[in-house]
Amino acid sequence: MHLFEKILSVCVANIEFELRGHQAITWSNFLLNPRRLRGSDFIMRWSQGVWSEARIMQAVNETEDFFAIPYGPSGIAPQDDVRAFELYFERLEAAGLGAIKRPDILIFRKTDQTIIQRIIEHLGGLSELPFTIESDNGIQQMLSKAIVALECENSLWKGKLMPDYGAALKPQKRLNGKLGLKKNAVLPTIILKDEDRQPLEAWQEAHRVPIYIWHVFYDMAFGIALDTAQKLIQEGYILATEQIFQAPGGATTKKALYKFYYHYGFPIGDAVEEPSAKHIIDKNGHILPYVHFEGGKLALSAEALAILRKLAHEC
């Protein structure tokens, strides 16, 4: 599967609707780019990822001690043009770097900001980071200063309104008596894709930079260390769930996910400003609403700041 389609794949369970048994509708496959995004869900997936990473960097950059930069290819890709987004990933694959898994964000001490900015400028700017091999001296210098790397996920939910938010973990038969919740519980979780486990583990080991997963909801965010997530999986506290994903071109694939109850992580922060919604207009003038978060602010929690300070002290 082309990297562009992989990045924009949407869980079928989250696709809002599908029209069946109808005559041809001119706007149902409206042309946004040559791959024909078949509805607003794929654009929503793209824009939501951009928004969540921006909120995390905004929250970190507003602290006195730390600053963040986008590092993974999706975070540095064009953010306001779907066609430019596609061409970007075509260039990434042509450079042979499309299959490499990098964390989405790097966090540094603010005292190192001038040094990091000089390194980035020397490499050609943020937009060139994904096209620079990690063995490059500049990248190595930058990674040596990083205190933590973040893998970012997001969900279109208000976490505090989810039915099982606040429920206590109880012994579960399917977990051999280990604590958990019913299989169909609806609550904030921190997601790790099975296909990302080994690549992220290998990256963390190679560069000696700890990886954390930060998962952003509409109103809040939670985090967990990759090492903690791996331990929970290995000890049987969290089981894999299989879901079907659909790409913009229509291809489907099954992926295993691990959903960690927020109880096992820590609060990253709460939204202090709510984002606004948006819509798109196809080439025929038809207005199509879709979920697109724009603006808003996230404030880091005391727990998140304490973890960052601990990591800064240890590295």
DSSP assignment of 122-169: HHT-GGGGGGS-TTSHHHHHHHHH-SEEEEEEE-SS-GGGSTTTTPPP
Among 169, 171, 185, 197, smallest CA distance to 255 is for 197
Q: Are 9 and 247 in contact (CB under 8 A)?
A: yes
The DSSP call for residue 217 is: -
| pLDDT recorded at residue 24 | 43
Residue-by-residue pLDDT tens, the chain, 315 positions: 666 666 667 665 554 444 344 444 343 333 444 444 444 555 666 667 777 888 899 999 999 999 999 998 776 777 666 677 778 778 887 766 766 789 999 999 999 999 999 999 999 999 888 888 899 999 999 999 999 999 999 887 888 989 999 999 999 999 999 999 998 899 999 999 999 999 999 999 999 999 999 999 888 999 999 999 999 999 999 999 988 877 666 677 888 999 999 999 999 999 877 666 565 555 554 445 555 566 678 889 999 999 999 999 887
Element containing residue 90 per DSSP (H, E): helix 82-94
Element containing residue 205 per DSSP (H, E): helix 194-207
Say how far apart CA 170 and CA 4 lie, in whole Å: 41
Say how far apart CA 241 and CA 258 lie, in whole Å: 6
Partners of 108 in the beta sheet?
A: 67
| pLDDT recorded at residue 306 | 94
Q: Are 293 and 285 in contact (CB under 8 A)?
A: no
Say how far apart CA 28 and CA 37 lie, in whole Å: 10
- Radius of gyration from C-alpha coordinates of the chain: 20
Q: Other CB atoms closer than 10 Å to residue 139's CB: what's the count?
A: 18
Please state the domain extents for the chain: 3-158+196-233+265-314
Instruction: Pull the structure tokens for residue 249.
Output: 């071109």
Say how far apart CA 122 and CA 293 lie, in whole Å: 33
Among 12, 131, 2, 151, smallest CA distance to 76 is for 131
Say how far apart CA 53 and CA 216 lie, in whole Å: 8
| pLDDT recorded at residue 44 | 64
Say how far apart CA 238 and CA 132 lie, in whole Å: 36
| pLDDT recorded at residue 63 | 95
Instruction: Estimate the crossing angle of helix 113-123 against helix 137-145, to 10 degrees.
Output: 160
Q: Other CB atoms closer than 10 Å to residue 215's CB: what's the count?
A: 26
The one-letter amino acid code at 210 reads: P
Say how far apart CA 148 and CA 200 lie, in whole Å: 13
